[in-house]
Chains A and B, each alone.
Chain A
Amino acid sequence: MLKTRTWIILFAALLIAAAVFWWILGRRSASSSTVQIIHDGEVIREIDLDTVKEAYEFTWEDADGNRNLIRVEPGRIRVTEANCPDRICVEHGWLSRELTPIVCLPHRLMIQWKEAAP
């Protein structure tokens, strides 16, 4: 049986380690300028954001009526509208260089950098 103080030190250390790791991850940027749109583990579309000259939008939809409106601008991409329950993908905002992908778990959809796993 551990003392309460030992537990506090253990959890504080884990918290700090995770925070440092998160910070380092946030400072690293994607090496590729190509994003992949993934559904159910498969790449359904690839876009090289450096070659985008004019902003455009397109809608992704599956057979169940799950819908995400995706906006592409030079160098960045985001989900602007979605009919998922939590809309976390919309709240995520732009993906412009950071490694954390845009995720829409209810729709099993993700926008990630090509060859940029953490």
Chain B
Amino acid sequence: MSADKAPKKQISLPLRLTTDAMLTALGLGIWFLEAQLPPLVPIPGVKLGLSNIVILFALFRLGPADAAAVLLTRVLLASLFGGQAVSLLFSLCGGLLAFLVMWPVRRIVTNRQIWVAGILGALAHNTGQILAARFLIGQDAIFAYVPILIISAILTGLFTGICAQGAIRRLPFPPRLT
């Protein structure tokens, strides 16, 4: 439980900054690769959300400030590189809501329950996105997608959460510099 807090104090500021920058680059790369894949299913809002693996790693290994920094930098750079103004709104609503949920969840899950944070984060992400879509489209008919977005969030959140849990538990940290 408190294992995630120890490294935060151990690592030096330059190492921490470098790790944040590296995680941002990794998240951006994963985000870009996922954007190249065709949609899994023809349903708006359904995607794997692989870049949340990086955010979960930052949150559990470094801390909330690092995770927030990595998230915001990734979202801004991603919309700069490949998106329209609309996608920035969607990424921000989904990403920030996911972060605001995963942040307190970090304290109530064990090292073996990180996948729970993955699912709750994905549910919050999809909630943020459907609200953004409702705001943009201005019609309640779009809420017909809520059930399928809940199903999709549970499945994709479980997958990315398990990936993040594996990375958080197995990767050496702080990295051994030789």
Q: Among residues 34 to 58 in chain B, which have CB atoms less than 8 Å away from a CB atom of chain A?
A: 39, 42-45
Contact of A21 among B108, B110, B116, B147 (CB under 8 A): B147
Q: Among residues 128 to 153 in chain B, which have CB atoms less than 8 Å away from a CB atom of chain A?
A: 133, 136-148, 150-151
Verify if A44 is at the interface (C-beta below 8 Å from B).
Answer: no
For the complex, what is the distance from the CA of A41 to the CA of B142, rounded to whole Å?
A: 11
Prevailing SS type, chain A contact patch: mixed
Q: Are A118 and B141 in contact (CB under 8 A)?
A: yes
Q: Are A91 and B42 in contact (CB under 8 A)?
A: yes
Q: Are B86 and A106 in contact (CB under 8 A)?
A: yes
For the complex, what is the distance from the CA of A28 to the CA of B113, rounded to whole Å?
A: 38
Interface mask (A47-79 → B, CB under 8 Å = 1, otherwise 0):
000000000000000000000000000000000
For the complex, what is the distance from the CA of A2 to the CA of B117, rounded to whole Å?
A: 13
Q: Among residues 46 to 103 in chain B, which have CB atoms less than 8 Å away from a CB atom of chain A?
A: 84, 86-87, 90
Interface mask (A78-118 → B, CB under 8 Å = 1, otherwise 0):
00000000111001110000011101011010101100111
Q: Are B151 and A101 in contact (CB under 8 A)?
A: no
Prevailing SS type, chain B contact patch: helix
Q: Are A88 and B42 in contact (CB under 8 A)?
A: yes
Q: Are A117 and B143 in contact (CB under 8 A)?
A: yes
Interface mask (B148-175 → A, CB under 8 Å = 1, otherwise 0):
1011001000100000000000000000
Q: Are A92 and B154 in contact (CB under 8 A)?
A: no
Interface size on B, residues (CB 8 A): 34
Q: A1-B109, A88-B44 are in contact. Are A108 and B144 (CB under 8 A)?
A: no
For the complex, what is the distance from the CA of A112 to the CA of B43, rounded to whole Å?
A: 15
Interface size on A, residues (CB 8 A): 35
Q: A15-B154, A19-B151, A88-B39 are in contact. Are A103 and B110 (CB under 8 A)?
A: no
Contact of B141 among A86, A91, A106, A117 (CB under 8 A): A117
Query: Which residue of B133, B141, B150 has the most chain A CB atoms within 10 A of its CB atom?
Result: B141
Verify if B119 is at the interface (C-beta below 8 Å from A).
Answer: yes
Verify if B112 is at the interface (C-beta below 8 Å from A).
Answer: yes
| A99 contacts across to B, CB distance below 8 A | 141, 144
Q: Are B147 and A19 in contact (CB under 8 A)?
A: yes
Q: A2-B108, A88-B43 are in contact. Are A110 and B147 (CB under 8 A)?
A: no
Contact of A118 among B110, B144, B158 (CB under 8 A): B144
| B113 contacts across to A, CB distance below 8 A | 4, 7
Interface mask (A1-44 → B, CB under 8 Å = 1, otherwise 0):
11010010001001100110110010000000000001011100
Task: Give chain A's interface residues, CB within 8 Å of chain B.
Answer: 1-2, 4, 7, 11, 14-15, 18-19, 21-22, 25, 38, 40-42, 86-88, 91-93, 99-101, 103, 105-106, 108, 110, 112-113, 116-118
8 contacts between A and B (CB under 8 A): A1-B110, A4-B113, A18-B154, A22-B148, A99-B144, A105-B44, A110-B141, A117-B141
